Chain A
Amino acid sequence: MNPTNKQQQFFHWGKNLFSQLKGNESATLSLAAEETEFTRFNHSLIRQHTWVKQCQIFLKYQKGQKSLEISVQLGWDDEQARELLNEVLESARDQISSIPDDPFLAPLSCTDQSLCSHQGTLPSPEIWPSCLSDPLTEQDLAGISSMGPVYRGLMNSLGMSHWYETQSFSFDYSLYDGENAVKNVYAPYQWKQEELREKLNLDIVMLEKLKRPPKKLEPGKYRCYLGPQAVAEILSLLSWGALSYAQTQRGNSPLLKLWKNERQLSELFSLDEDFSQGLVPRFNNLGESAPEKITLIQNGHINELLTSQRSALQYDALSNKASESEVPRALSMRGGSLEDKDILKKIGTGLYLANLHYLNWSNVTEARLTGMTRFACLWVENGEIVGPIEDMRFDETLYSFFGKHLVELTSEKMFHPNLSTYSERSLGGVTCPGALIDQFTLTL
């Protein structure tokens, strides 16, 4: 079945279901489906290979000021889908009278329709993963490749409809030498064997540099360069409520003091929600399409926060069509003027941290976070790489390292795809530069 048929089939299920609604009933039907080849590697060989085909339908059912959601996994079979969706609708009707009224329930709207398709080039089963054998001779690689189509659909009983599909490949890997490792991701729109080989060769060269004896650091403050992957880890942590309008109202946002203008970040720090690359659907779980670009932080000050229709109703704010969870979907941090070729020179003596690991807020109200260095983290002296460091813990507030101690940002930005696969493949990702910081606190 080709993708167009899947879209038509989903819309057919929705129309059939909506035709059964009565009186003050309304509904939104959404879909998340995929067909994925997961290949997991250890020691450059295949540890586990799993093919998954799944389709999940979500019914958001509203009656007056009451709502609930029921989701079910099914096959692309019209008769089975009709039977299951009828059962789901009846179950929703059975439950709804027990649910209290929700004064901030967003009413359905019918302003949007969209159709978006991104069809990347995937390697054939004859080429992938066997093409890895040659470049990885005598290398120790661990990681996972994921490839295949992903579908997202949404329609409501007022006539709104959206369809998004993409066919993509990602290879998330690390190359090891003992406990030293280089981490990278290859996730092109058009898969090219030669491009991957070149990337792996560069990683192998980098791994050679890690074979020097590791430097043991003492806790203290260090000049430091955070590579784009490390910055992306920090930005991902901001998804935990930091940019949510509702969380500022509930006192749970780590950026509450920034929002109140009691703290500020560096004027070099600007952050947007930017859908222009089309790597994630612009429509949210209500089917509202977000503006192509929302400026969240402008030169160190909050411009606006992610605000859902629900928050708009509850707190008398203006919705920017964020999802109900007010989680960023297409974060993009603006770059600066630092050229890649000058990074080591600008570090002088200090740290080059390519990756960070296991970040968490250690003090939410002060936007303080802790985490670990991981993978290719290096000690630099007088602009020259000396060797790897032993892993260290940091504990530092955002207002310091992205505030008064942020020196420069790289002009080059990198896109870091969201490779999370908890229950399903994620879409979108984070785009960001690297950051030079003159004081970064290591604690253990």
Chain B
Amino acid sequence: MNLDLNKIFQKYSSECDWLGLRTVQKRSQWRSMLDQRPDKNNTEIEQGLMMEVVIDGQLSYAATSHTSPDGIEACFRHARDSSIRNKKMGLNLFDPKTRGSMSGEYSSEKKTPLSQYELTDLIQIQKDTSHILASVPNALSYWVHFWFLETKMNYINSNGAQITQDFERISQTLGITAQKGDVIQTRSDGGLFAHSYQSGAEGIKKEQSLEGAERLGVEVNELLDAPECPSQNCDLLVMPNQMMLQIHESIGHPLELDRILGDERNYAGSSFIRPNDFGKLQYGSDLMNVTFDPHAGGEFASYGFDDTGLMADKKYLIEKGLLKNGLGSGESQERHSWGGVSNARSASWNRAPIDRMANINLEPGHSGMQEMISSIENGILVDTNRSWSIDDYRNKFQFGCEYGKLIQDGEVKHVVKNPNYRGITVPFWNSLKMLGDRSTHQIYGTPFCGKGEPNQIIDVGHASPCALFKDIEVFGGES
């Protein structure tokens, strides 16, 4: 698909009050190996055009993969006719201020483009890693999956914006399920595709994959012999690969302004945050500093501009535990007076942009890992998410992890299986009593954040240190 957006813009901009055009081309590759045999080797090419057409203050979207002149003409007519027809029932009048006006480019940091990577080399990594997993005692099933995504986005609009962005993304996951007697346990490398980054081919690391397989083989067998996680209220030491989920569900989603404005009430849900909470709500303890950071190099959801052409910058959402800003795009900020960020993003060419998380990070604290463990009289360490659930206002959550450790009298005692914990968002974050320093800090991401009507799945990134919470309800996997 090679469309001249300026030419299309010239043809249609005079037929409406305001026009935005966005093309997206994606090439994704799914390379999965399951139990030492090829599982999926799929390549998917997405390509199409999204038109934003405003007539008399009413905005409508129309998108097509039929990018012939006739296809584009039909697309424009649909958007234009919808804008005229829906004027009387529109929730908001369109304001051009909610869209960008700058020219700019963004490109993922990379050394070697993904397109230059040899498929045979990747398959060999999968084979070698699978070979290690196959030799693990009690192995039942194991997997080594890679997912690559190359995206090219172009955007222009009546404000004069001219944006080009190129993204290269890598996600990888490996794991093993093992059985001993009646006990079945699964251990993965940080969770399903938690190792998701913006990177070129240099991000495919054979040694990391092989070392991961060795470690998982040991740990899954530890779990097979481990006692159940005890049920008790105690300290909870959360590793960064579980903090990712904790941040995502109990900070990221409730801070999305479109949820607070009610757009998501019928599907993803609302938020416990109220408009007058910004600047007033003590969301967590004063150790807590949370940022929206679209420029964190290599983090999965980095970008230069959102899908409405607005330049993206780092911003504090929560500072010293105090709620400062929401996750709302220019459009959401226009609908209300709260502070926001540039986060109107869409899953692809065929979906309208909505408020999304991007990179939401918990900034490091000042405690070392050993210092945190030494401070624990009775507690559980939890590692790698395996189960997640939270209510539609983002209050009551329950999360389960793959791997736990019992900590007593300042020492790690032994591994426990099936660790779970539950709590309520604001009291939980206010129970944060120690926060790991940069040596405990890890970056993760996921390609699977779902939201919106029509539904959209998008990439998000989360970085966090280890974190210690006091007096949390922890329990095992009793039947």
Contacts and interface: CB of A to CB of B under 8 A. Distances in A.
Interface stretch (A113-121, A271-279, A326-334, A369-377): A369-377
Nearest to A74: B65
Contacts of B418: 363
Contact of A395 (B65, B184, B398, B424): B398
Contacts of A174: 265-266
A92 B127 CA distance: 21
B61 interface: yes
B54 interface: no
Interface in B331-350: 347-348, 350
Contacts of A40: 263, 453-454
Interface residues of B, number: 82
A372 B392 contact: yes
A102 B32 CA distance: 12
Kindly name the residue among A43, A102, A143, A358 whose own CB sees the greatest number of chain B CB atoms within 10 A: A358
A423 B347 contact: yes
Interface residues of A, number: 88
**Most chain B beta-carbon contacts within 10 A, residue among A99, A104, A250:** A250
B265 to A, nearest CB: 4
Contacts of B269: 357
B263 A142 contact: yes
Interface in A45-61: 45-56
B327 interface: no
Given A362-B477, A372-B389, 5 more contacts: A50-B352, A66-B38, A70-B42, A174-B266, A444-B398
Contacts of B433: none
Interface string A53-83: 1111000000000111111111111001000
A133 interface: yes
A73 B89 contact: no
Given A251-B177, A397-B479, A75 B67 contact: yes
Given A54-B65, A252-B186, A125 B85 contact: yes
Contacts of B60: 49-51
Contact of B141 (A68, A252, A423, A444): A252
B264 to A, nearest CB: 8
Given A50-B62, A50-B63, A73 B263 contact: no
A173 B68 CA distance: 36
B48 interface: yes
Contacts of B395: 391
A130 B454 contact: no
Closest 6 CB pairs of A and B: A75-B66, A250-B141, A421-B454, A144-B453, A363-B477, A45-B91
Given A75-B67, A103-B37, A144-B453, A370 B266 contact: no
A444 B399 CA distance: 13
Given A45-B90, A73-B48, A423-B348, A393 B457 contact: no
Nearest to A97: B120
